[in-house]
Every structure is written in C-alpha cells, then in structure tokens.
Structure 1
Amino acid sequence: MTHFVPTGLSRRSLAAWIASTAAAGAMPAALWPTMAGAAEPQLATKLRIVIPANEGGGWDQTGRALGAAMIASGAVGDISYENIGGKGGTIGLAKYVEKYDADPDTLLMSGMVMVGAVALQKPAVTMAQVAPVARLTSDYEVVVVKADSPIKTPKDLIAQLRADAAKTVIAGGSAGGVDHMYAGMLARVAGNAGALVYLPHPGGAQVVEALETGKAAAGISGYSEFSDHLASGKLRAIGVSSKRPFLGIPSVREQGVDADLANWRGVLTGKKVPAERKAVLLEAVRRATTADVWQKTIKRNNWDAYWMAGKDFESFLDLDTAMAGPLIYLLKLKA
C-alpha cells in the first residue's frame, strides 16, 4: 500500500495530520515519526527505480546511489531496481512508458544521454511522454588514450582527425549521447565532422577494451568510468570537457581547443501520475540528496551536485530537448 504524505505543512500541522491518519487506521505505526518530531515521516514503503542502461555505468551508479540515499534518509522503506539497457536509454524509456506511465511508485533515471539519443534515433516514444521530477548531478567528459599513445594533447587528437579521420576512431557511450556529441564537437573543430568514425558502447568497460585492443585511438566518457584505469596507468587523460581543470586534468579549452560540454543526470516519472504524488516523489528525492550517503557518493565519484526541480527543471528539459536535434544535425552525428 502506498501512503501519501502532504508537503509544506508546519510541524504542528503535520503532527495533527499523522494523528488523524493513524486514528483512521490508514497508517501503520512503523511509519509514524517520533512524538518529539526528530524524524521526518516515511513517504513511501517501497519504490522502484528504472535504470535505462546496463549495470555499472553512470546511470546505474546514480540510480543505485539515489535509492540507497532514499532509504538512508528515511524517505522510503525499500527500493528495487530494474535495468533496461540499450540505444542510449530509448529502449528503457519506451518500456517505462508502456509499463509504468501511471505507476505512482516507479521512477525513471534520465539525462542528457537520453535526450541526445532520442533526437538522433527518433524513436516512437520521446521525452514528451514522461514528466520531470528533478535534476541531480553534472559530470564532465574525459578524453583518454592508451598510456603509450602518441596523442599527448587535444591538439594532437585534432591533428590526427584532420590527417586521417577514418583511422582516428573515437569510442564512447551510446549513439547520440553526450560522449558522441563531444566527439562530434572535436571533429567539428578539426573541420571534418562528417568523417568522424565513432564506436558506441553500452558502458565504460567496453570503451576501455576498445582502447586496449587498438580498435579506438581515443575514448570519451565520464571520469568515474575511467578512474581505475587512469589510476593504474593503463590509460592517460589528455583533457576534460569543463572550462577549468578537473581533478588535475587540464581542460580541453585551456589547451587551445574550443570544446566544452557538461553531462547531467536526473529523475523522471510517468505522465499519468497525479500531481500530488509527483510532489511526494520530489520530496523523497530532495530528502535523499541531503543524506550523508548521497553527499559521500557525490564526492567519491567526483560528480557535481546539480539540483533543479519544478518549473525550472521543466524549462531546462524543454530547452535541452529543443537544442538536441539542431546540435546533432550541426555535428553531423550518425546513428
């Protein structure tokens, strides 16, 4: 059974609501806050988080971290996860809309990767068929090469793309996603965006394998997906897509290549979920992001907290969606 808790009440009003609800037998004692008001009420006994990617990648890390923080904050009693990978999240998006469009207990992880994949692949189910809840994090693109690669700087990579784009293969995540977009931006700087050879992969592990086996000259993904191999010395970072240095890695821009881009990740819900329930889900997510476990995860993965909700997030998502198509056309990206 799902328990709906009103938001925006004073502590005294919330206590009165709890008392009346409990008296009516609609709330089990396990969900009551303490009489001293030290604990906030549980907002849901159980939620499901649909992660439109395979296990281990950025979306999976973010979704599971959010679930753990929801439980740690006391907002939710239990969390289950459902991974549905493929095609930049568009397969997971379609299945979410089909199965959970009106489900008040199921959230969907999303982000710039999905926005770009929808724009490139033009699937039947689009971002217009889900509802925004909150934006959570920002992550930058790291450009890496094998430790013994002759490519030492972003300018070296641009020079190789100009000289022989066909042999300067770049590996990254799903087609149309943020990795692909950034590869397109680099190829555009080189002056031959249409000649870009991009190898899409379901996760960072496959990108690393493409580099190690010589199938790709460079790889692009978030820092957390390359961190172990950078630390071991197997890979070398030549730049990051932020405007300033990040974790000791110089930015691509400050090395003379005009290309910066930030990824974002957030959470959505079904279009048919009532507004009152969306407000409760938003409060559960907000409380999760204040939990120590979430803050530690942000720090450990070197993500930037990037909170946005309500009308601001709706407007942001509308603009991001509107810009994705023209950007993909401009960069000549191919599915």
Structure 2
Amino acid sequence: MLNLERRAVLGGLAGLGMTALGGTAPAWAQTAKTAAAGASGKARAARLAPKLRIVIPANAGGGWDQTGRALGTALLGAGMTDEIEYENKGGKGGTLGLAYYAEKYSNDPNTLLMGGMVMVGAVALQKPAVDMTRIQPIARLTSDYLVVVVAANSPIRSIGDLAERMRANPKEVPIAGGSAGGVDHVFAGVFTRASKGNPEELMYLPFAGGAEVVQAVLGGKAVAGISGYSEFSEQLASGKLRAIGVSSKRSVFGIPAIREQGVDVDMANWRGVFTGQGVSAARQAEMVEAVKAATGHESWQKTLKQNHWASSLLSGPSFSSFIDFDMTTSRVMVHLLKLKV
C-alpha cells in the first residue's frame, strides 16, 4: 500500500536509512515548549499590533494566497489588528519567498509567513541555502485534498485510464501541478509508482499557480492536472475540466476517491503560518493565541466552507513534531521516487 499516512510512512520506510538522507533538524522544539507554556489555557488572545504583514511565498490567486488573505481578514475581524499588508513572493515552491522572509523579517514580531507541505517538499528537493530551520512554526491551519483533472474532451474517463497510460509510458503523459518538489509533484510520483509505472520517467510540468495548471490542461500541454479543489472549482463548474479522482480515502466533493478506483494512494496537503527565527517565545505565544481567535471568526469559517478546506488547527510542540516528521518524510520520498528539479 502506498499512502502518506504518518504511521504507514514510518513503518514502510523504516528500512531506507532516513538519517543517511541528510537534513538539519530545526532548533525550534525547545522554543515551542516555552511558547506553549507561556500560552496557558487561561491565556486570552490580545491585539497584536495596529498593523501586521503577511508574506505569501506564492503568486496571487493560488492556495497559499487564498489562505493568507483569508487569515488576514479573520485577524482583522477578530480584532487582532487594524490593518494587514500582503506581500507575494512566488517561485520554486515557496523557497524564494522563504529566503526573502528570512533575510528581511527574521526579527520582525509583526510579520508572518505562510507555508506548508509544498514548501517542505520543495526544500527537500532543492536543498536551498535557506531552509525551514530559519523560521518558527505558529500554527497549521488547513488540510486540502488533491484533485486530478483532465480536459472535458479528454478520452481519459477514470483514474484507471490514467494509471494504464502511466504504466505504459509515463514520458508520454505530462502531468501539470504546483512547484517542483511540492505536494503535487510528490503525489504525481507516488501515483506513478502505484500505477506500476517508473517514477524516474515521470514527465512533471511545474507551475507557480493553479491558473497556469488549468491552462496547461485546457491547452493540451498536459494530459492531466493536480491541485486543490478550490483552484479547479470554477472550471469544473463550467464544464471545461472533468475531475477523475481525489486523494482522500473516500469520495468527497462528488468526486470518486483514487484509492476506491483501484490505485492505492491518498494524501492531504496542509497549509500553516510561521514567524521569524529571531522572534521571542513570548511573542510567538501571543501569535498562536491570535491565530486561534482568527480561526474561530465567522469569516474564516465561511472561507473553509467555500473552498472545501478542512480545518486542521495544530500549534505548539505538536505542530513542531508534525513538521519534523514531514521534513523527514519528504526527504525520503524525494530519494525513493528519484524526483528531480
């Protein structure tokens, strides 16, 4: 069975020599514990500052951008600030925005950074000079299943049809998705392997945003596209695209689950918010409480429903451990699937 559930990955990949794959463990565990202690159960969210800034390491319109702006709206609604400024710095799975943030805002207590599984995967694949050890986790916010789509006139009618083509010759089945090394890329590799194809021959077309993925599929450049439901929803509703599978364990959004169609894989993308390496534990704790207050605001709840996102709020040491696990898993998957930039 090929899936990325935490227990399954630990068991299935235990023999691959994870420690040999390298990677520096972030020094945030002790900080997270200190922050959690400061943010006791009696703590109440306090106004953070008159003005906050959110750096979004992606182009406008994509999942990170939608999440970042929804969080900003919720922070305003919950009274955590009076003004939000957004900065979009897209490219290379968020690693360009990560480097920009680490250089410019590492010590800024009023500037947040969006991130998530895409960034973790991109760091594992690209091994950039600036990685996620340069930031501190605040909270995981959402989880989002991946949807596989084809053009409405495509002869591919099901996941089985796509798997058959991938098994025959992956080089002739270009798949469009997000940045190289991100969750879409990893999922394409896992899907190829589960289809009995050769992941080394995967023809993956990375794009900086969902709009480009849509155009690649509609324009015939890609046979299929992978992204979150929200980035395909308009074209699915208009009939321009057709969804053939979703990466959940069971059918959602009226789309059949990939594993229910005989290809045994599932995966969920997550998005979260971070702060700078130089921000104090006390300020980090205040940010956690502010984000919790924001995610309880009606505007945030409305956004979750509209975009078909699952709330997956997680903070403190639990979130730090979760990221550590994802970092290790991503390095292993990049190695196992022989993914390339």
| TM-score, normalised with respect to structure 2 | 0.86
Equivalent-residue separation in structure 2 for 1:9 and 1:205 (angstroms):
42
1:166 paired residue among 157, 163, 171 = 171
Deviation at 1:9, TM superposition (A): 8.9
Correspondence 1:5-84 to 2 at 5 A: 8=40, 41-84=46-89
Aligned length: 303
The 3-state SS of whatever aligns with 1:76 is coil
Identical aligned pairs, as a percentage? Answer: 60
CA contact (8 A) 2:195 2:263 kept: no
**Counterpart of 1:109?**
114
Equivalent-residue separation in structure 2 for 1:216 and 1:9 (angstroms):
50
**Counterpart of 2:135?**
130
Q: Deviations over 1:74-115 (max 9, x none)?
A: 111211101000000000000100001111011100000000
Equivalent-residue separation in structure 2 for 1:8 and 1:259 (angstroms):
39
The answer for unaligned runs of 5 or more in structure 2 is 1-37
The 3-state SS of whatever aligns with 2:275 is strand
CA contact (8 A) 1:76 1:284 kept: no
**2:232 aligned with 1:222:** no
Q: Which moved more, 1:40-49 or 1:325-334?
A: 40-49
**Counterpart of 1:307?**
313
Equivalent-residue separation in structure 1 for 2:88 and 2:46 (angstroms):
29
**Counterpart of 2:304?**
298
- Sort the Cα spacing of 1:9 and 1:213 in 2 relative to 1 into closer, same or farther, 3 A: closer
**Counterpart of 1:148?**
153
Equivalent-residue separation in structure 2 for 1:284 and 1:82 (angstroms):
20
Equivalent-residue separation in structure 1 for 2:306 and 2:274 (angstroms):
24
**Counterpart of 1:27?**
none
Q: Which amino acid is the alignment partner of residue 58 of structure 2?
A: A
The answer for unaligned runs of 5 or more in structure 1 is 1-5, 15-39
Correspondence 1:203-222 to 2 at 5 A: 203-222=209-228
Equivalent-residue separation in structure 1 for 2:79 and 2:340 (angstroms):
45
Q: Deviations over 1:3-50 (max 9, x none)?
A: xxx965969xx9xxxxxxxxxxxxxxxxxxxxxxxxx75232111000
CA contact (8 A) 2:249 2:257 kept: yes
Runs of 4+ in 1 over 6 A off after TM superposition: none
Q: Deviations over 1:36-81 (max 9, x none)?
A: xxxx752321110000000000000000000000000111121110
Q: Which amino acid is the alignment partner of residue 81 of structure 2?
A: V
- Sort the Cα spacing of 1:185 and 1:105 in 2 relative to 1 into closer, same or farther, 3 A: same
Asked which structure has the greater CA Rg, the reply is 1
Equivalent-residue separation in structure 1 for 2:219 and 2:280 (angstroms):
50
CA contact (8 A) 1:42 1:77 kept: no
The 3-state SS of whatever aligns with 1:125 is coil
The 3-state SS of whatever aligns with 1:114 is helix
**Counterpart of 1:22?**
none
Deviation at 1:323, TM superposition (A): 1.2
RMSD between superposed Cα atoms in Å:
1.4
Q: Deviations over 1:202-231 (max 9, x none)?
A: 111111111111111000000000000000
Q: Which has the higher contact order (CA 8 A, sep 6+)?
A: 2
**Counterpart of 1:37?**
none
**Counterpart of 2:28?**
none
- Sort the Cα spacing of 1:271 and 1:250 in 2 relative to 1 into closer, same or farther, 3 A: same
Equivalent-residue separation in structure 2 for 1:164 and 1:239 (angstroms):
20
